[in-house]
Amino acid sequence: NPDVTPDAGGSTGGTEKGGTLTILNAASDINFDPAKSQNLAITTLGLVLRRLTTWEVQPGKAAQVVPDLATDTGKTTDGGKTWTFTLKDGLKYADGAAITAADVKYGIERSFAPELSGGLGYHKSLLVGGAEYKGPYSGADLASVETPDAKTIVFHLKTAYGDWPWIASMPAFTPVPKAKDDPKKYSQNPVASGPYQVESYQQGVSVKLSRNPNWDTTTDQVRTAGPDNIVFQLGQDTTVQSQRLIADSGDDRSAFGAGFVAPAQLAQIEQNASAKQRLVTSDAGALSYLAINTQRGPLKDVKVRQAIEYAVDKRAYQVASGGAIGGDLASTLITPGIAGRVDYNLYPADPSGDVAKAKQLLTEAGQSSLKLTLLSENDQPSLAKSQAIQQGLQRAGITVTIKPVDEEAWTAEVSGDKGDYDLTVASWQPDFPSANGNIQPLFASSEIGGGGYNSARYSQPEVDALIEQATAETDPAKAQALWAQADKRILQDAPVVPLTYTKNSFLHGSKVQNFFVPAFPAYPNYLKVSLKQG
């Protein structure tokens, strides 16, 4: 194929153009509405929709925030309270219309509409007036987003926020032309600004993307746009997916699975040389942890929680998540791959725990026969992990009852106000690669209940103050030091047991190239995948 353009990064070889890439998806629906999407910058939506900034993710390198529609990643003049972005020249939608700053503003505004809730909404509480704003459909506009001219957009924040450039990479920062906005249909038929547009959308069956004729490669440094067409096959059973990819025949050679390969299949792939070659495992990324409900009975006692830190059998947990390929043992809250992480271990023990120590701590706390409930999601992998925890604690005389509930109920319990559980196993991948994303959502007291993810229901004024201070810090180095300090401080209270830094494995067909999975985010970078031609 003559149409080979050398890739800027170069580390994964050139990008061949052409072919139809198939992405196998377990979900039965893809929501292309930027206001409602929680997509990462480098996955599905990134193929169709551009934002102010985006992520440059390369194998072996930490994720970087880079300009997308904007010429840079935003400028601030007042220490992070006001951010200004300028759009590049010659940007067009698929229909040929020009992309304007007003469209970006409109896109942000509509993300405030209750009709379109559901997306990533970090900006909603940061922007001035955001808390009260109810979207553009009632006629009002959001004054804190200014568009002095067609190319410039200015954000006024309530407080200084150093990670705003990351926020600007979220789906809500996609331009939406007001004239084309039909909130009912936008999720299936968005106005494309990226290299692909939605050609056909069949709910539950497939989504076909084809090239956007008006996308200009020169304005875009992150998307390589290799395949001519991309087809998402929806509602695919994960086991069948894996088998198709292992078999690697026909069109499946140009396919990859969007979901993790399950441990059972990992073992199978181990034994299959061809498939093993096509398995891509991320570096250790998201944190999986055991949350201890700090507001419940004996668990209020820090000694008891520390006993649990020692009693947990991390090795069994690791095996339950697929062994070494499933993740590395964890001891900190900030995950590898996040700038400023400091490695330490407050509760040093053998990988399978220190039962004697745990028992001793329990005796000190006066707890001889502890009975706890562990809330677990009811899918097989989650239950396997929960059982590994249960088994570990049992050794120290802690009787754990597993309460399996479905995923939605789990979310509701964990992020709801009641908090009717003692323990739960969770895993957290921040929405943007900053220690802030590691710590704040999980440990700030403001995140207890009401939809927040502080599943340990941990409330420590000292930590809250640290978080506030670190969030406002615009100097990356200083901020990172503060986050590392918070990390350690939190673990002293033992609200969670860090279990593993998980690794996600993905399988792709033999024709798929430039397929890699970084530590953050531990997902394949859709934007650079291409197909071998000929």
Footprint on residues 381-400 left by another protein (CB under 8 A): 383-384, 386-388, 390-391, 394
Tokens read off for 19: 């072919």
Of residues 77 through 106, those in contact with another protein by CB under 8 A are: none
Going 96 to 102 to 106 to 107, the CA torsion angle's sign is: positive
Terminal Cα-to-Cα distance of the chain (whole angstroms)? 7
Task: Give the CA count within 13 Å in the CB-facing half-sphere of 328.
Answer: 13
- Answer yes or no whether residue 140 interacts with another protein by CB under 8 A: no
The least distance separating another protein from the CB of residue 412, rounded to whole angstroms, comes to: 4
Distance CA 384, CA 316 (A): 10
Distance CA 23, CA 232 (A): 5
The least distance separating another protein from the CB of residue 422, rounded to whole angstroms, comes to: 10
The least distance separating another protein from the CB of residue 132, rounded to whole angstroms, comes to: 9
The least distance separating another protein from the CB of residue 511, rounded to whole angstroms, comes to: 18
The least distance separating another protein from the CB of residue 433, rounded to whole angstroms, comes to: 16
Tokens read off for 175: 């331009």
CB 490 within 8 Å of CB 333: yes
Residues in contact with another protein, counted by CB under 8 A, come to a total of 94
Return the number of other C-beta atoms located less than 10 Å from residue 420's C-beta.
11
Nearer of residues 53 and 386 to another protein, judged by Cβ = 386
Of residues 262 through 301, those in contact with another protein by CB under 8 A are: 262-268, 270-271
- Answer yes or no whether residue 180 interacts with another protein by CB under 8 A: no
Of residues 29 through 68, those in contact with another protein by CB under 8 A are: 29, 36, 38
Range in contact with another protein (rule: CB under 8 A) among 45-53, 146-154, 202-210, 223-231: 202-210
Nearer of residues 195 and 509 to another protein, judged by Cβ = 509
Tokens read off for 328: 């590395």
Write each residue from 410 to 449 as x if it is in contact with another protein (CB under 8 A), else as -, in one continuous string: -xxx-xx--------------x---------x-----x--
Out of 8, 240, 465, 477, the only residue in the binding site for another protein (CB under 8 A) is 240
The sheet that has 423-428: what strands, in order across it? 327-329, 496-502, 287-292, 423-428, 370-377, 398-405
Burial 497-512 (b: 16+ CB within 10 A, else e): bbbbbbbbbbbbbbbb
Out of 5, 28, 221, 277, the only residue in the binding site for another protein (CB under 8 A) is 28
The least distance separating another protein from the CB of residue 266, rounded to whole angstroms, comes to: 6
CB 126 within 8 Å of CB 80: no
Nearer of residues 279 and 308 to another protein, judged by Cβ = 279
Distance CA 371, CA 350 (A): 24
Write each residue from 340 to 379 as x if it is in contact with another protein (CB under 8 A), else as -, in one continuous string: ------------x--------------------x----xx
Q: DSSP class of residue 341? A: -
The least distance separating another protein from the CB of residue 184, rounded to whole angstroms, comes to: 5
Out of 54, 82, 210, 233, the only residue in the binding site for another protein (CB under 8 A) is 233
The least distance separating another protein from the CB of residue 379, rounded to whole angstroms, comes to: 7
- Answer yes or no whether residue 481 interacts with another protein by CB under 8 A: no
Out of 183, 259, 336, 397, the only residue in the binding site for another protein (CB under 8 A) is 183
Nearer of residues 84 and 272 to another protein, judged by Cβ = 272
The least distance separating another protein from the CB of residue 316, rounded to whole angstroms, comes to: 5
CB 470 within 8 Å of CB 489: no
Helix axes 263-270, 238-247, angle to 10 degrees: 10
Burial 42-62 (b: 16+ CB within 10 A, else e): bbbbbbbbbbbbbbbbbbeee
The least distance separating another protein from the CB of residue 489, rounded to whole angstroms, comes to: 22
The least distance separating another protein from the CB of residue 246, rounded to whole angstroms, comes to: 9
Out of 105, 403, 511, 528, the only residue in the binding site for another protein (CB under 8 A) is 403
Distances (CA, A) of 188 to 31, 94, 272, 435: 7, 15, 39, 34
The least distance separating another protein from the CB of residue 390, rounded to whole angstroms, comes to: 7
Nearer of residues 66 and 375 to another protein, judged by Cβ = 375
3-state DSSP call for residue 320? helix
Nearer of residues 76 and 241 to another protein, judged by Cβ = 241
- Answer yes or no whether residue 510 interacts with another protein by CB under 8 A: no
Phi, psi of 103 (to 5 degrees): -65, -40
Nearer of residues 9 and 441 to another protein, judged by Cβ = 441
Distance CA 298, CA 397 (A): 14
- Answer yes or no whether residue 316 interacts with another protein by CB under 8 A: yes
CB 228 within 8 Å of CB 20: yes
